[in-house]
Each structure stands twice: as C-alpha cells, then as structure tokens.
Structure 1
Amino acid sequence: MGDVAPTEIEAIYRAESRRVLATLIRLLGGFELAEEALHDAFMAAAERWPRDGLPANPRAWLVSAGRFRAIDRLRRRARFDAVAPELAARIEAEASDAMPETDQTIADDQLRLIFTCCHPSLPGDAQIALTLREVCGLTTEAIAHAFLTRPPTIAQRIVRAKARIREARIPYAVPGPDELAERLAIVLKAIYLVFNEGYSASSGTTLTRADLSAEAIRLGRLLVDLLPDAETEGLLALMLLSDSRRAARTSPEGELVLLADQDRSRWNQGQIAEGRRLVVAALASRRADPYALQAAIAAVHGDAPTAEDTDWGEVVGLYDLLADVAPSPVVALNRAVAIAKRDGPAAGLSLIDALLADGELADYHLAHAARADLCRRLGQVAAARASYQRALALARQEPERRFLERRLSELPPE
C-alpha cells in the first residue's frame, strides 16, 4: 500500500509512456485525443499510486485510465462538439466489448504506429520526424538537430502529417503481405533512427538511452518474424552487434570510452553470437544490403579479442562495398577512419580534408573530432587544436563535450 515515490512514476513514464500512447492512439483513433489521455492517465497515477500503491501491471492500468479519462473528456465537450458524445459512446462500447489489453497487444501497437507514421501518402521527411516524435518521444529540438534544420520546420511537418493521417483515415495497422515489402524500407530506417538515438543520444547528460535501443531491437525482432529477409535480419544484426558494446562505452563515472580503449570482457557475447548468426543469414542471400554490410563491419570488431587484432583490411573492404551500394558522407568518413587505421593517419587525413572541403560534413562534430585525432597523431598541434575546438562547438552531448575538452587539455603547447 502506498509509498510510491515520484521518481518511480517518472521512471515508469520514461519506460512506458510511448507504448501506452501507441495503444491509446489505436483505441481512441487519433493523436490529439490520445496525447491528452496519456497526460490525464499519468496525472491520475501521480494522484492515486502514492496512496493506493503501484498496480500489478502499470502499463495496462495507464491504458485503461487514459481511455476512460478520454471518454469523460469527450462527454464534457458535448456542449461545443456535436460529434463528441457519439465518439465517447463508441469508445466506451468498444472498451466494454474488448478483451483486456495484454502486454503483447500493447507492445504490438508500437509496430502498428510505426507503419502508420511511415505511410507512403506522407512525405518522407515527415514520416521519420513523426516516428521520432510519437514512437520515441523525442523533442522537436532533438529531431531538428538530427535533420540539421530548425525546430519550427520540424513542428510544421509533424502537424501536417497528423492532419493527413486524420483526413485520409490512414489505419493504425501493419499492412498485409502485398504491401509489407514495399513499405519496409522506410520503417527499417525509422527503427534504425530510434536505435541510433538510444545508442548515441543527440543531446543530454548521458551517452546512451538503453530504453530506446532495447525498444528498437524489440521492434526489429517483430519485423524479422513478419518478413525474414536480408534487410530485416541485417538491421537486427547491426543493432545487436552495436548494442553489445554498450556497457563498455562509458566509464563508471559516465565518461566516453573509445572503441580501442574499451574493456572487451564487458561486451555482451550473447548479442555478438546472435548478431553474427544473423549476418551470415543476411549475407547468404547474395544481396549487398546496407544494414547487413554495416553489421558485417560490426562483426569484425566483435571477433577481435583486442583492438590491435582488428582486421582493418576487411573493414575497409566492407566499407568499399557499402560506399558502392549506399554512398553517404558519413559512410565516406567512417571509411576514411578505417583507412587511417590500416594505412596510417596521413592517408586518412587527406580523405577527411576532402570530405570537409565538400561542405556536407561542415557541421558534423564527429568529422572534426576525427580530423583532430589524426592531426594529433601526426604532431600537427595547431590543426588538432582548431579541429577539437570546432568539434566542441558543435557537440551537444555532455560526455562527448567532456571528452573533447580532455583531448584539448592534453595537447602539448605549440
């Protein structure tokens, strides 16, 4: 009885709010009413749980509370909205006829929501922005940072996408087999962006968000069950192999630890083994899938007992393939770093300088950090200092900022 602290409710909000929202969107038929219901449900939890104690299934409790608070809200709107009573009656009737929500149905709702957010009738940039907002709960500022654009632009995209879903009556459902394959690519991209935000948070006090990474992996497993092929298996493998290093990526004090310096005994060998099996299955299709190639690169790192044992020749070869099938400035940057490991810092630096001269990575802090590291290794202190300062000016994540500040302080005087 009782004794539920506000911090416990906050933790449940962080862990469960997006899942609860996805189910409320399905039950209530729209984003706006579901978002209001989510807020009402947590307000009710903050009032009742400290008095009555934590329910046996907080997620199901929040869904039920949110749905019935939505019915009450609609009834109060009856004076101003003629449709509200009819909608309230429909939701109430469906609630009384439906089976109780289970953890599995609530979990599957997030997959339904991703397919809704990624419906082909929505513009591509709006699909991803809406997914990051509604499935991950990222702020418009964080999404704008990922898109290298302004928050008002992102907010406008999200508003328009929600209006389009409402007006076109886009269903909250996973498409049937005929549509699944053609809609898969954008959904995979969205899930990978969710994972990346968990693997390396775009801003804030911590390097990672384990809840987002775990959610993306869970959704990846659902997709492999739905459609096992090179793309879905490759993405799941990539996420598992990348996430296997999470425990070693920060020190006990929360400081960033580079790949070469990580304690590999802390890597999750179960995830590495599962990821390796999926890589083999994905590459057996003979399709050069970008996710499978990135997973293969991660598997090379996972196979190396120490950083010195890494087969950088194989890594460069895989990046060559990746650059052919999915060229991008970030792929080119990662390839340049791998070439620096194989052939020496001067070889990598010339490639990075060419990339920065093109301008596409001018505001990407990791490009400047990589250049700074190569300049440092070559003894080019002034150039290293300038690049570290540029990277520091662009970095938004506190552990990365502290790491860059340490690197700057360690440079010898010019």
Structure 2
Amino acid sequence: MNFDVTAPGHILPFHEGTMRKGNNILCCAVNLRVHLSFKEVKKEMFELHLENYKHTVTYSYDDFKTNLLAHLPHPGSNYSWETPELIDINKIMPLVIEFVNSITPTKLQDLIHEFALYDFFLIAACIMCSVNVEFEPFAVFIKSDIPSGIIVDSSSAHSVCIAAAFVHYLRLLALKSGKLNEDISKPTYKSSKISQFISDAFDVNEKYIIFKWSCLSEKLIPRDIYGIGSSISTYGEMIKFTKGVNEFRPSLRPLSHVKVIKILIIDSGVKPNTKLMNKELEEFAKTFPDIMEPISMLQETLSNLAVGFLTDTMDRVEDKKLLELDIGFIMDLDHTLYTAMNLTNPELDDVYNIVTKSGFKGRAYGPGIGGCFVVYLADDSEEQN
C-alpha cells in the first residue's frame, strides 16, 4: 500500500502588513512543494524520514500506543478524526513533545526541523487514537523543495501533506477491510464513516478535514492569523482569504483560471521579526492615523487589481488607464507603501535598489521586518540583462 502526496508553498503578494485588520488577503501558491511518500513496510518498526535534514526516526507501534496514545486526554464524545477543531492542543502537545524527545536524541537543527517532528506525531496520534482499524507498519518519507528560511511557508505545506496522507490511508484501510460506509470510530468517539472515493483525489469534505488538521498544526508556530497557509496548501492556485469566527472557519474564495507568473525569491538573510513589525505598525497608526487608513484602502485596491490581472478580468475595470499597469508595477507600489510604514530593513532596501536599477520590479516579503524580496519576472525577462 504505497502512495504519494504533495502540497505547494505560498506567498502573499501584497500587503501582509495590514492584514491583521481582517482585510481580504490575496494568497498565491508557488511551485515550491513539499512531497510525502507513504509505504507500508514488512518490518516491526515504523519509520519517519525527514530527507532535508537527513534525519530518520524509528519507533514501534507498541511504544507509540503505550507511551503516547494511552496518555492522550479524550477530546469528548463529539470527537472523531473528522473534527480536529475539538482538540485542546495545549493539553496534547506536552505529551507529543515528551514522546518525540524519547525516540529522537538527535539535536534538532532549527524551528522547522522541530515543527516537522511534532507536526507528524500530533496528527498521527490524534487520528489513530480514535479509529478502530488495524495499522500496519509504515514508512513516511518527507522532502521539501523549499529551503529552510525562505518565507514561502513550508510548515503549512508539510502539515497538509501529513493530514492528506492519513486521510487517504484511512480510506485505503476502510476499503481493504470492507468497512466502507461503516462506522470506523472506536466506541467512545463520535461515529464516522468513509464513503466510496476516487483514489487519486479528495472530495470537498475531505479537503476541509485536511485543511482543519493543518490549521491545528499551525498553532505550533506563533502567528497573527491562522489558516492562510493551510488554505492555499490545501486548495492551491490563488485564494482570497478573510478571517472568520475562528481559525477553522475563515472565508475562502478560491480563484480559478489563474495565470502562471514567474518570480525570483531573494533571501535577505535577515530573520523576520513579527513582533517588531506589529510594534512599528502600531506606532505608525498612532502617529499618522489619517494616513494609515488610506494606505490600508490603497493596499486593498492593489490586491483587487492583482486579482484582475491574474484572472483576466481587467476588462471590467472602469478606469482603462489601469490596463497599462502590470503585476510588477503593483508590487513596486506596494513596496513603496511598505517602506512608508517603516516595515523594511537596510538589506531589503539594498536588494530593492539593485532590482530597480536592473529594470525589474518587486517588493519585500515576509512575516515581519526581514524575510525575502520577491521580484516579478515579466514574460520578456529572459531578454533583459
């Protein structure tokens, strides 16, 4: 029983600096992906291979059940593998961390390495504890195209791959054991069934379940808004995201027929600092309240213009002068607004100067004052020096 799943990273091309107000956020997938291969193995041990870190973790199912599953607090009679939103992550994570530390004495290289381990065992434990199916030893191989430190959210793509793998594995186990359309939950959990499915695709409900598991995992890394990365890594292409009543129920508007554009991502070498960014935003808003609101409105307009360019709906724009613009111009203007609010740094300013002098356009990007610079490569960019 072998299969592969993959999920894209993402960028927010415009105005993540003001998204905390709940404005619409434009989120785009990038062709840098996380890949997961799942294989049942004829061994006694389960295996997790984090190929980017050359790190392999082996553990027995008995240890997994005895030292982790047996200690998990019961989320309640309404919980099943379909409702991760009912899990209290603050109660479960200390147990997951203790188990991971017991099976991997290897020093973890960075935050993403740490997240990759905790994320896997969080999802595995919370799904496997509630289902009444027989698990065979398996090996999971995870590899990312996304270099650590590049801000295109490998963590969300990673958790989407893990969630998708376990959802598909449950489907295959239900099919193999003849339990399709039968209750696969353990007696003290909410009833759950797996219906007939398409082997190489997920239906709308399954995608939503995968999205929710990824949202749960996002809580392992502090963020201002949860669910953005999970949404684009689950649904792909381009999404208009608006905060909802909670992280599991945002307003998502997937956009179809999206143009493919080329970008160059340059790492500034400066670690993003979200706390500093929020502080600068608050100070700017207090000092220049009459300026902050127009900037927010203009950034929202730029985001809407970008949607028009990328989905071929600019013919609906009343001001035809806007048709002379392109994505690069919008990114450049957005960067100017970003700089006006003091949300950049000298390294990113140096990159901006080099990029503009070379005839290109782009903007700083990252969850904080740091991160990367995204350069728009027009269709004729190969002819440019």
| TM-score (ref. length: structure 1) | 0.29
Structure with more helix by fraction: 1
Task: Kindly indicate which of the two structures has a greater share of residues assigned to strand.
Answer: 2
Higher relative contact order (CA 8 A, sep 6+): 2
Bigger-Rg structure (1/2): 1
TM-score (structure 2 length as normaliser):
0.30
